[in-house]
Structure 1
């Protein structure tokens, strides 16, 4: 076979794989029963928002565009200097909020970097700190985005150059890239992993820090009351990635923790508890899914629930074979490949009004042997 024929045959083989891969993804999406590898690329804390325009918007903790470390160290685990000392590599996280959109959760269009730290509130308030800091040290952690009354809203946290300098950013009408304003001002400082929730009466709430919650003044003009803690009745919800959804008549509070209750040991899991009011009191902590820590519970266009998942481990992804019965307590381990995975959720309103939530893919559905909490 000559080189041209070989090339044509190889191209046909790649097309075959691509088409069959897409068919498998489409079937998994239609059946809503298996995890789907939705998008490649280094990301943590992937956040998906379904807008009224029919697009899904994706953001998360990401590297700077074209950062060579993304290819050199695909399982970069570092987020700060302590991780660099432990793992020998600096953090790959960058200081730009990056956004993609899709109509089907399979094919993603890159929309660029609409917001960077040097355009934020703290850069305006403390310009000297930014002038004295190298941009490759700026980091945007766990951003979320919302489209509200024609304006885009971004929330995120960052370790510097201003310590604890979280932002709530509001854009001009339908313009993702600004101009920006920052009505929350200093009220956003020291708000780790901020998340927003809108109640049925139109009141917006800010959640942060696993978990404090406070109502926001109209127009996002600062906090309207002193924050209170919301915890499950039997333990803390976790240590990061808290968010709230309203399902049926219940408020569902999600949070993230390691299965062993020890940092970076075991699997990175998602849990929940429910209440009749957003401020609680909440019931006992329940289990959503293994390897779903800091995932986004969201609904697709058909109203079905999914949760984002991503790679978070101290070693490369482990095999799924026998994973349901494998103890992972020695170190942080996951079956998730680097990139954005979406995992189907079963969400039911029970006869007594309580909410049942559980991952449907068997490899995510149950606690592992390393899980310290006993669930009933």
Structure 2
């Protein structure tokens, strides 16, 4: 009894402390001024979408569920032979972006046509990267990679769960970092690429392509090396991509850039700066109509202190200020008088290129 009386105040303190921390984060989300770390746990390429049921859904590149190495190898990069990435898609949902409910692993590479008849597979070497979830009328569409297993799959109803339908699986192979975009007129597209990037229209039933692929790029240079996606604001198509600030692999900061066009296939404007440390993040709109971008830990050192980070040259290694887990960074998105689109991270630690940035940018007009 004495032991219980000793433990109860400690548990109450922890509970109240956690609640206070959650309240502060909710206030920060409402203010929409600074980055907010919304969830712990090993993840890359976090993707958040607001579903038709008023829940936010979170997925991304993850370890296998309950992997004990998550604690002992917390800063694993997820790359190379020592990659911690598993072969399942994990999903969480939340009403407020703070309290997340775990929905387990509703998709696994084991369930795909590529592996269903295979009997000799070393599953410790199979990876599922960068899944995205999109609501397409009355069901969910999911795209995933790497290119050796890349695919497009559909749920059979409004819940994110098996069974999944994989139309013509060979059609969607060899697509690095696929992303899905649906235009206002209902025409949908698949984007993908690694150093060279492509967009291709999809059939209405998503069973394949309805036209040829078009290579797309900013007017003045290549977009980067991976993690592209597309949005539309007004009449402008915004093409977003990922690159290291130095243009050298794992040197500098992992950033997001964008360009705009009057057509989803281009031609596009010059490449513009969107945000530092936001590489392979995905913009999403919250319930208040505010835009955010997901961010995650991608570095070869532990996270840096963000103080005076704007002045630090990071060109000698791969660095980030993002803690392990999922961070969301507020975005300012404006339609300009000429119809073009201005996008930039609002948090000062993410808003400007660092001294290690290779490209020299013209100052955008807000």
Q: Check whether TM > 0.5.
A: yes
> Which whole-Å CA distance do the structure 2 matches of 1:328 and 1:5 have between them?
51
Q: Which of 303, 306, 315 is residue 329 of structure 1 equivalent to?
A: 315
- Residue 89 of structure 2 is matched in structure 1 by 97
Structure 1 residue 186: Cα displacement: 1.5
Runs of at least 5 residues in structure 2 that lack an aligned partner in the other structure: none
- Corresponding residue number in structure 2 for 1:86: none
Residue of structure 1 in register with 2:270 after alignment: 284
Q: For the Cα contact (< 8 Å) 1:43–1:338, is it kept in 2?
A: yes
Residue by residue over 1:46-104, the C-alpha shift from the partner in whole angstroms, topping out at 9 and shown as x without a partner, is: 011111110111110000001111111000014222xxxxxxxx211000011111111
Do the aligned partners of 1:184 and 1:223 also contact (CA within 8 Å) in 2?
A: no
Q: Secondary structure at the match of 2:103?
A: strand
CA-CA distance at 1:5 after TM superposition: 6.2
The C-alpha deviation readout for 1:231-289, integer Å capped at 9, x for no partner, is 00001111111000001210000000000100000000000000000110000001111
CA contact (8 A) 1:55 1:101 kept: yes
Pick the structure with more helix per residue.
Answer: 1
Would the aligned equivalents of 1:242 and 1:256 in 2 still touch at CA under 8 Å?
Answer: yes
Unaligned runs of 5+ in 1: 82-89
Which of these residues, 151, 169, 174, is aligned with residue 185 of structure 1?
169
* Shift of residue 167, structure 1, vs aligned partner: 1.1
1:345 and 1:359 in contact (8 A); partners too? yes
Tell me which of 188, 192, 200 is aligned to 1:204.
188
Give, in whole Å, the separation in 1 of the partners of 2:95 and 2:78.
32
Identify the match of residue 243 of structure 1 among 196, 208, 229.
Answer: 229
What is the deviation of 1:16?
4.0
Contact in 2 for aligned 1:184/1:220 (Cα 8 Å):
no
How far 1:144 sits from its partner (Å)? 0.5
Aligned length: 359
Find out whether 1:11 has 2:3 as its counterpart: no
Q: TM-score, normalised on structure 2?
A: 0.95
Kept after mapping to 2: 8 A contact 1:95/1:140 = yes
Aligned match of 2:287: 301
- Does residue 110 (structure 1) correspond to residue 102 (structure 2)? The answer is yes
- The answer for the alignment partner of 1:137 in structure 2 is 125
Q: Secondary structure at the match of 1:219?
A: coil
Question: Which of these residues, 334, 340, 360, is aligned with residue 354 of structure 1?
Answer: 340
Q: CA RMSD in A?
A: 1.5
Shift of 1:8: 4.4
TM-aligned CA distance change 1:299 to 1:99, over 3 Å: same
User: Equivalent residue for 2:144?
Assistant: 156
**1:23 and 2:28 aligned:** no
Q: Distance in 2 between matches of 1:235 and 1:53?
A: 41
Q: Extract structure 1 runs of 4+ deviating beyond 3 A.
A: 2-13
Q: Distance in 2 between matches of 1:7 and 1:328?
A: 46
1:149 CA displacement: 2.2
How big is the shift at 1:184?
Answer: 3.9
TM value normalised by structure 1:
0.92
SS of the residue corresponding to residue 112 of structure 1 reads coil
Q: d(CA) in 2 for partners of 1:76 and 1:269? A: 20
- Equivalent-residue separation in structure 2 for 1:184 and 1:255 (angstroms): 27
